[in-house]
Structure 1
Amino acid sequence: MTLPYISATAEADDLGAGRPLPHLDQDRWMRPYGVGPWRVGTAALALMLASYLLFATLIMAAAQNTRGGALCLAVALVVIAAALRLLRVGVWVSGRGLRQTSFFSTVTVPWRKVAAVRTAQQPVKVLGLPRTVQGQALIITRKGGEPLRPQFTDHNADFLGRVEAFDIAADAIEGWATELA
């Protein structure tokens, strides 16, 4: 018994054979890997905290405590914004360039200014904390010789415990750089 979704997927793979870029729309910013479980879990816990804060806001509004309700609402909105920003952290690619998004800043480098994209063994931070261990990092070097800060590592919130996923994602980003740089 053939399953229609499997044959459709196989046909789609055959249509894209020979194309190094995984996405047909090169003008759209995309992350060439899935968000990791540590990042999703942290954002889910933050959103759960925000839901409790919003419920506290409702209780305070019902009790006519407007200052406390406004404070809880403001804190809940900050927690929601932080959770959404946490989910956006990572390396994004498009036909225009490479974008490295961290929690507080974003650096966009056009492909013409990217000198090299490679993986290297070096000390990396575990989940962004001060503790470092030996691991792999994706090093993105600009044409001025200045590398970007390595936030794409096999010990960050997207790839901790998923070394194969790190290798696949790093190869995908290197493929984009080879094709478009």
Structure 2
Amino acid sequence: MPLPFLTADRAFDASAEDIALPFDDHDSWRRPYRPGPWRVAAAATLLLLASFVLIAGMIIAFAGALPGASLCVGLALVMIFCALRLLRMGAWVSRHGVRRVGFFVTTTVSWNRAATVRTVQQPVRWLGFPRTVQGQALIVVRKGGEAVPPLLTDCNADFLGRGEAFDRAADTIEAWGDEYRRG
């Protein structure tokens, strides 16, 4: 079963290195980078724990305690949902705008309401924890000066220790912004 939220686009293929927007369908939402190893490891750990909870639920069900088994199955479903949501987090682009998908909140800014998309040096959160370090962030500034929380940082779960990947993703999103803010 294909998992579209895990696939990166063809922008990273060797044949499409010089093309900024190599997609046939610009209307669908796409993440212009692969999920990072920290994000994938956290989701895999959650899925592993969910499998253990499901096995525990099966053992409890065979023992005859159905309320306990249903509690285990419910907990495992919540863990699976959290793992999938964790994999879905990040910046997504389309012809309509840019979307920042967080764990609880999703923010969408249409290209005609975006004044600029740029990379800046600023304090950023390290792996989403409250601790901040100096790093790079890709931000969208709306017309009127209102800033959206950073779309990407070089210290988040997708790009920690992967500076080149951050630069490619930031350049790709900036190219989408330049293309569609003009039009």
Query: Does TM-score exceed 0.5, indicating one fold?
Result: yes
Q: Structure 2 CA distance, aligned partners of 1:132 and 1:71?
A: 38
Superposed, 1:141-160 pairs within 5 Å as 141-160=141-160
Contact 2:140/2:151, CA 8 A, preserved across alignment: no
2:124 alignment partner, SS class: strand
Q: Structure 2 CA distance, aligned partners of 1:128 and 1:71?
A: 30
Please tell me the residue identity of whatever aligns with 2:30: M
Q: CA deviation at 1:144?
A: 2.4
Q: Structure 1 CA distance, aligned partners of 2:123 and 2:109?
A: 24
Superposed, 1:19-58 pairs within 5 Å as 19-58=19-58
Q: Structure 2 CA distance, aligned partners of 1:125 and 1:178?
A: 27
Q: Structure 1 CA distance, aligned partners of 2:74 and 2:119?
A: 41
Please tell me the residue identity of whatever aligns with 1:107: T
Q: Structure 1 CA distance, aligned partners of 2:40 and 2:155?
A: 15
2:116 alignment partner, SS class: strand
Report the counterpart of residue 9 of structure 2 in structure 1: none
Please tell me the residue identity of whatever aligns with 2:135: G
CA deviations on 1:72-97 (whole Å, 9 max, x unpaired) are: 11110000000000000000001111
Report the counterpart of residue 166 of structure 2 in structure 1: 166
Q: Specify the structure having the higher radius of gyration (Cα).
A: 1
Q: Structure 2 CA distance, aligned partners of 1:151 and 1:68?
A: 41
Report the counterpart of residue 3 of structure 1 in structure 2: none
CA deviations on 1:44-100 (whole Å, 9 max, x unpaired) are: 000000000110111111111111101111110000000000000000001111111
Q: Structure 1 CA distance, aligned partners of 2:69 and 2:48?
A: 18
Report the counterpart of residue 65 of structure 1 in structure 2: 65
CA deviations on 1:124-175 (whole Å, 9 max, x unpaired) are: 1100001111100001111121111115100000000001100000000000
Q: Tell me the matched-pair count.
A: 169
Superposed, 1:128-147 pairs within 5 Å as 128-147=128-147
Task: Give RMSD over aligned pairs.
Answer: 1.5
Contact 1:33/1:169, CA 8 A, preserved across alignment: yes
Report the counterpart of residue 83 of structure 1 in structure 2: 83
Contact 1:20/1:179, CA 8 A, preserved across alignment: no
Consecutive unaligned residues in structure 1, runs of 5 or more:
1-8
Q: CA deviation at 1:25?
A: 0.8
CA deviations on 1:95-122 (whole Å, 9 max, x unpaired) are: 1111110000101111111110000111
Q: Structure 2 CA distance, aligned partners of 1:50 and 1:156?
A: 24
Runs of 4+ displaced beyond 4 Å: none
